[in-house]
């Protein structure tokens, strides 16, 4: 299982998990992808995240945020995080560094931003997912 982690689990990690799942399935990889947040509270995906993912044919409307747990971390083969700060928090919690992958150079949180901000975040996530797939021996992500 691949776990994707951000802060609130309403914007970045649900978008990244959905993109990663779509790309893995397109490559015939039967790998489960889940997401969680360091400060999640059961909220739905942000309306802007739902809208920009719908542009790429991905439906986040049923998503509800959930908190990161030690059990989820233990179940994950790999954990993708949005920022080096998230990686540091996980390492301090005892997660082995080799299990953690930072998407891109860090994906800024678009929470509260406009639709253009969310599109830029989605596109940065797609580039990070591309790098993740490449480093794991899979073909480049198809650009939408």
Q: Is the pTM value of this prediction over 0.85? A: yes
Query: Does residue 12 have an active-site annotation?
Result: yes
Q: What is the per-residue pLDDT across 5-51, written as a single tens digit (0 to 9) for each? A: 999 999 999 999 999 999 999 988 989 999 999 999 999 999 999 99
Q: What is the per-residue pLDDT across 65-79, written as a single tens digit (0 to 9) for each? A: 999 999 999 999 999
Active-site annotation holder among 29, 66, 109, 119? 109
Active-site annotation holder among 6, 73, 80, 130? 6
Query: Does residue 109 have an active-site annotation?
Result: yes
For the chain, domain boundaries: 2-135
Structure tokens at 131: 């790098």
Question: Quick one: CATH architecture of 2-135?
Answer: 3-Layer(aba) Sandwich (3.40)
DSSP string of 18-65?
A: HHHHHHHHHTT----EEEEETT--SPBPPHHHHHHHHTTT---TT-B-
């Amino acid at each position: 299982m691949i776990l994707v982690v951000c802060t609130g689990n309403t914007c970045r990690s649900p978008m990244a998990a959905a993109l990663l799942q779509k790309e893995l399935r397109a490559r015939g990889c039967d790998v489960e992808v889940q997401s969680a947040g360091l400060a999640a509270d059961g909220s739905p995906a942000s309306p802007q995240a739902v809208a920009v993912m719908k542009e790429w044919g991905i439906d986040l409307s049923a998503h509800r945020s959930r908190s990161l747990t030690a059990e989820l971390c233990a179940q994950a083969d790999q954990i993708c995080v949005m920022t080096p700060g998230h990686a540091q928090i996980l390492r301090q919690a005892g997660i082995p560094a080799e299990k953690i992958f930072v998407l891109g150079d860090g994906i800024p949180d678009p929470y509260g931003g406009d639709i253009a901000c969310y599109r830029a975040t989605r596109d940065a996530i797609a580039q990070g997912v591309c790098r993740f797939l490449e480093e794991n021996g899979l073909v480049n992500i198809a650009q939408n």
